[in-house]
């Protein structure tokens, strides 16, 4: 057997956490893409569209990396943190830089926070073997 080439047979790949960097960067890229598309075609931007892109990407990451269902609990605190960041951040930024920039910045930041909380929480619970 080569050094680190094979995993022991009792290791379940579903116990692997979500890849932090990939989930955060891809979610931020999707959110930024939604904001760019919204700037190019403002009539196409509605609530369903605002939620569809990044959520679809996170679901894709879960399916591709086979993150076990016990690790999905991170979506709950991620959603709470993201929503709080969006609504509070948008209000605070609107006072400073205006609503035209506050909405996209708060939107992308909220999805980044959601993805970071989800990926971090996917590391728990851990096996104690």
- pLDDT, residue 99, reads 86
Domain coordinates in residue numbering, the chain: 16-121
- The answer to whether 101 and 73 are in contact (CB under 8 A) is no
Is the full-model pTM beyond 0.85?
Answer: no
* Tens digits of residue pLDDT in 26-45: 889 988 988 888 888 777 66
Residues 51 and 119: their CA atoms lie apart, in Å, by: 18
Residues 54 and 28: their CA atoms lie apart, in Å, by: 8
Q: To the nearest 10°, report the CA torsion of 60, 62, 64, 68.
A: -160
In the predicted model, what is the mean pLDDT of the chain? 80
């Amino acid at each position: 057997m080569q050094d680190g080439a094979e995993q022991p047979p009792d290791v379940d790949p579903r116990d692997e956490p979500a890849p932090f960097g990939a989930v955060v960067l891809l979610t931020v890229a999707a959110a930024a893409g939604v904001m760019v598309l919204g700037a190019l075609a403002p009539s196409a931007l509605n609530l369903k569209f605002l939620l569809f892109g990044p959520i679809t990407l996170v679901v894709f990451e879960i399916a591709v990396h086979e993150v076990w269902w016990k690790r999905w609990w991170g979506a709950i605190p991620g959603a709470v943190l993201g929503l709080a960041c969006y609504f509070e951040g948008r209000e605070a930024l609107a006072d400073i830089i205006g609503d035209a920039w506050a909405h996209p910045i708060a939107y992308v930041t909220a999805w980044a926070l959601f993805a970071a909380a989800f990926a971090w929480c996917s590391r728990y619970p851990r096996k104690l073997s």
